[in-house]
Amino acid sequence: MTDPDKKKALKEIFDAAINAASPYNAVQKKLRLAPAGKRLLLKTDHKSIDLNRFKRIFVVGGGKAVCPMAKAVEELLGNRITDGLVVTKYGHSKPLKKIRAIEAGHPLPDGSGLKGAGEILKIAAQAGADDLLIVLLTGGASALLPAPAFGLSLKDKQKASALLINSGASIDEINTVRKHLSLIKGGLLAEAAHPATVLTLIVSDVVGGSLSSIASGPTAPDPSTYADALRIIKAFKLAGEMPEKVMDILRRGSKEALPETPKPNDPLFENTANIIIADNLSALQAAGKRAGDFGLKPAILSSSMTGNTREAAGFFASVLKEIKNSGNPVKPPACVLMGGETTLKVTGKGLGGRNQEFSLALAAALKSAPGIYTLSAGTDGTDGPTEAAGAYAMPDTLSRAEALGLEPAKYLARNDSYNFFKRIDGLFITGPTGTNVMDIVVGIVE
């Protein structure tokens, strides 16, 4: 294959992963109606719910890919839906018939998200013992559904979120703090809906698929505590920068002066089911299958990639070079796949996201190694505050940059990967994909 052919192959392998992680397809596959005598059952792979038990059905949710899920639920349940509302990122909404959709800020929460979260809590509070609440969650829901607790302002929540996002904290750590500043996260949406039956369908964007971490677990028990949130803030040396109201809430909570989030074994979860319907591994498996169509031997390294973005890029580069040089652990031509979510600590004032920074660090580590072609991209179609999903790192990436007088090390120091790849036409732009199962890295080795 020529270089343009390699670029096309990288894109098509990535596209196969996106198709496999389609929330719309996943809902259609996992949720179905089945007659059982005079009963009508709503069935998943793990649970059957008799719809005749319920007077009303409500549908709520949030996330960058929630609208395709809502559309699939609408097509399945139609006029059985009494009311519904989902909140998605600006530019990600889709036309719906029975369920209202509003757009809001991500990754930083805004007033629109605040309004949406409040309406969702009101819908949940309406639900009684004879009602069913279906909750739809994808990545991004945590930021899209801000419901500040204990008199906290949205401005304080925004500042706390920005500090955590830019600190290098993992998504689990960020969400531990978020859950203890919220009226909806950490199982509190399930608490608001109790004693209704709650069925939550989840597209996982969290390494390991922890139910308490995905979207900050609005319908899942929360094993974390206020004390855990305080430790995280102190570990990243943010206490002096955090709004005083945030610190006051966490300190009071750690001294049991405020109610904790509901914990595992709490009886309020007896009628709540949380079901993951799509994740990163299923996307990687589909990508590997598509790679085989190009005559490439697929190798999935991990769907649990975490840690520092540049260190992860260095590891991926070492694997690709090992394959090229020794044929270990797979002989070329090969397609190496890795998924998950790294942590990018932002210290510069440039523009980019973890996937673009991953690709720039990868290009620097590979040093224009011949016969190695890579793509790192976010499955939601966005990477940081840019329109790009990620970027390509190709054998000619450094030579193209050198011809323009661009020094990768300086762009890395400024966290300015977006402008680096824009100058050399290396950005990968998809627009909203309609899903979100973290990031995927594809490497082709000749």
Summarize pLDDT for 161-184 with one digit per residue, the tens. Answer: 899 988 888 888 998 999 999 999
Q: CA of 326: how far to CAs of 165, 215, 234, 321, in Å?
A: 39, 42, 45, 8
Q: Could you identify the residue written with the tokens 């943010």?
A: 238
- Angle value at C-alpha 143, between 138 and 149, nearest 5 degrees: 120
Rounded distance between C-alpha atoms, residue 213 and residue 232, angstroms? 15
Average pLDDT over residues 386-403: 97
Rounded distance between C-alpha atoms, residue 147 and residue 226, angstroms? 17
Is a pLDDT exceeding 80 seen at residue 13?
yes
For residue 194, give the DSSP letter. T
**What architecture (CATH level 2) is domain 3-12+281-445?**
3-Layer(aba) Sandwich (3.40)
Q: Are 309 and 358 in contact (CB under 8 A)?
A: yes
**C-beta neighbour count of 422 within 10 angstroms:** 17
For residue 426, give the DSSP letter. -
DSSP string, 59-123: EEEESTTHHHHHHHHHHHHGGGEEEEEEEEETT-----SSSEEEEE-SSS--HHHHHHHHHHHHH
For residue 436, the model assigns a pLDDT of 85
Record: fold of 23-147+182-224+261-278: Rossmann fold (3.40.50)
Q: CA of 322: how far to CAs of 64, 329, 332, in Å?
A: 37, 8, 11
Instruction: Pick the closest to residue 204 from 38, 16, 439 (CA basis).
Output: 439
Rounded distance between C-alpha atoms, residue 323 and residue 132, angstroms? 52
Report the percentage of the chain scoring pLDDT > 70. Answer: 99
Q: CA of 435: how far to CAs of 83, 156, 280, 320, 354, in Å?
A: 24, 29, 11, 28, 18
Is a pLDDT exceeding 90 seen at residue 113?
yes
Instruction: Pick the closest to residue 226 from 150, 165, 154 (CA basis).
Output: 150
Summarize pLDDT for 338-394 with one digit per residue, the tens. Answer: 999 998 988 999 999 999 999 999 999 999 999 999 999 999 898 999 999 999 999
Rounded distance between C-alpha atoms, residue 254 and residue 259, angstroms? 10
Q: Which two tokens stand for residue 23?
A: 């929330």
- Domain(s) labelled CATH 3.40.50.10180 in the chain stretch across 23-147+182-224+261-278
Instruction: Provide the whole-model pTM.
Output: 0.81
For residue 164, the model assigns a pLDDT of 92
Is a pLDDT exceeding 90 seen at residue 296?
yes
- Domain(s) labelled CATH 3.40.1480.10 in the chain stretch across 3-12+281-445
Instruction: Pick the closest to residue 390 from 364, 361, 358 (CA basis).
Output: 358
For residue 395, give the DSSP letter. T
Sorting pLDDT into bands at 50, 70 and 90, what band is 45? Answer: confident
Average pLDDT over residues 69-73: 96
Rounded distance between C-alpha atoms, residue 359 and residue 342, angstroms? 12
- Angle value at C-alpha 141, between 139 and 145, nearest 5 degrees: 170
Rounded distance between C-alpha atoms, residue 314 and residue 320, angstroms? 10
| Residue 38: partners with Cβ closer than 8 Å, 6 or more residues away | 52
Rounded distance between C-alpha atoms, residue 316 and residue 304, angstroms? 13
Axis-axis angle for helices 280-293, 3-20 (nearest 10): 140
